[in-house]
Structure 1
């Protein structure tokens, strides 16, 4: 089964109409035949992007509710109407700052799939958990919370491994460390649905930039990246997209 690479930009609470224009200008001329490119800006900027573009749009979170008296929340339907086709679910900043539990993350992912959005499930361990050699235990728990009771959702998901200790710190797992963890994730996912586990895209996130991305993309189980800080620099993000030169994987 082939897996086409995916490079996703997470702007977090950054961006502007000017950055929308600059990013579109940087990406439009690129030959993106071997890679899917996704930009996840703040939701208020989704409508700023032209329909004439060669990349997809995503949201950074969503409500688990479909509608109702939930001030400040955005439903999957609203995000779809605004132009999103993907949504990030369970980012570590949402888990930590907004107290999103594993159960809530699971509910949000199910809501996204039901509505027709492609969820990017974020998982990852803290520095303390890594030092205690609990990485696999933490990742297994986060995956089990989502897929153990609803394995049919795996085939409609993307999974992003983001070691919390590497997000925005300038630190990154070595390509070999990242590959080892991605291989564990794919192996663990196989217990839910072996066929879906072979085909699911696994992204790496954690201070990905133009200097370290090529070595990461050479790893067998790394199918792209969820890019934070570097995605606010259109020229560098374009370089990251172009670094995916190995094409589809078997």
Structure 2
């Protein structure tokens, strides 16, 4: 029975997919939207399989103990023991094995997700500051090599535009505190640390509008550090960058000046 239950659990979960329309079959994850989602999906799926296996084993052991050592009609008490060496060894060794396996697959997946593209199609700088984002598009053909940018405020979040099926390098910077750049559909986030340049590469694989967030508790208005992500065709992407240039958003944004204006404060002072 145990083996049949374990086999059934593995078979059910093996039919799940990160691009399935059913949220249940995606195991509560968003629909995958980049080329770096597979390694994270494999870790997530493996975690669910491990949880189900452990649950079935423990629950089966509980049922066995309740039935095997239930109270008898003759009121005979089961033999009492101080310890059970095999069981105690199992409870010690099994968690170590589980943690070691998870650690191995986590590191392997992390290395895959952080693998750099030799010559990315696009490069942009992401500036996270209290409490909003700024995006600087570098050396684009649509702007004849001029760098263009867009910024936002907590009241009017910034927009990030990306071309579908083209690789992008994200260089992350912060002038103040630690933030974390996170787009849930990409199954990826990375800390934005003052004085340290973090970067990663990925390719968006489906068009759509998503919501990006700061995943690091960075201060009073952390919950309002949102940004809107538009994954569009190359033509739409080029057109948007041309509009930024026409609007005068040329050069590199300071990043913090716009973000210090907090909606809801009378004088816009920083807390």
Scaled to the shorter chain, the TM-score interval is under 0.3
- Greater radius of gyration (CA): 2
Structure (1/2) with the larger strand percentage: 2
Q: TM-score, normalised by structure 2?
A: 0.21
Structure with larger RCO (C-alpha < 8 A, sep 6+):
1
Q: TM-score, normalised by structure 1?
A: 0.23
